Amino acid sequence: MTTRKPIIPSMIIPGGAPLPPGPPAPGAVPPWRIPAPAAAAPPPPPPTAPPAVVVPASAPPPEQVHHHHVHVTLQPLPYYEPIEPTRWERLWAWIRSIGRPWQLIVALLAAVIPMPFTGHSAASTWAATVYLARTEWGAPFGYALAGLALAWVVLRIVRHGGTLLRIWAGVVTAIGLISAINLFDIVTLLTGVTR
């Protein structure tokens, strides 16, 4: 425990007595310093003559500036919705994407014109084959045979483009798929009734 030191006053000012002067004001010179004598002001500079003004003999006339105001008015063009292509235009665009029109015509003719020595066309021969598979093994086999052949040809045309041979094969397999279709299959599919 620390002991407190007693407070001993150094000066006691009785009530009503004036207070001693406070600390010096900031920037005040202490009384023991003698202020330095003020420096004498330097003499004013001698007066100088004003500069001579040179007046040109003749000033050139000011250039005339022509201002051209151009007003441009932009007329917005009327906005038209692009015309939707018709069904026939879409069909023609799709046919053109498969191959050239002459290729389609030649492939169609080659598929339906009878082959020599058989008397049947390639399309009718493939259609008879698909129909035989349908009647001998059942409708699912006929659809599978025709559908897989057509899907393979379509895949080749989409990936590698339409050549005359691929388009011919597409026509032949499409006709084969048509021969595999029987409208009674819809009834069988929906009701389960067979003939």
Q: How does residue 115 score in pLDDT terms, banded at 50, 70 and 90?
A: confident
The model carries a pTM of: 0.49
Check residue 193 and give its pLDDT. 73
For CA atoms 107, 109, 115, 121, give the dihedral sign.
Answer: positive
Residue 31 is predicted with a pLDDT of 67
Is 18 a residue whose pLDDT tops 70?
yes
Other beta carbons within 10 Å of 143: 18
155 or 158: whose pLDDT is higher? 155
Does 1 or 96 have the greater pLDDT score? 96
pLDDT at 179: 83
pLDDT class for 66, splitting at 50, 70, 90?
Answer: confident
pLDDT digits (tens, 9 = 90+) for 119-151: 888 888 888 889 898 888 888 888 888 889 999
Task: Give me the pLDDT at residue 152, please.
Answer: 92
Alpha helices in the chain (DSSP H): 87-98, 101-112, 122-137, 139-160, 164-180, 184-191
The 10 Å Cβ neighbour count of residue 154 is: 16
| CA distances to 42, 48, 64, 140 from 174, in Å | 119, 115, 85, 17
Task: Look up tokens 């050239």; give the residue.
Answer: 100
Instruction: Map out the domains of the chain as residue ranges.
Output: 100-191
Considering the chain, what percentage of its residues have pLDDT values greater than 90? 3
| pLDDT at 17 > cutoff 80 | yes
Model pLDDT for residues 92-107, shown as the tens digit of each residue: 887 777 777 788 888 8
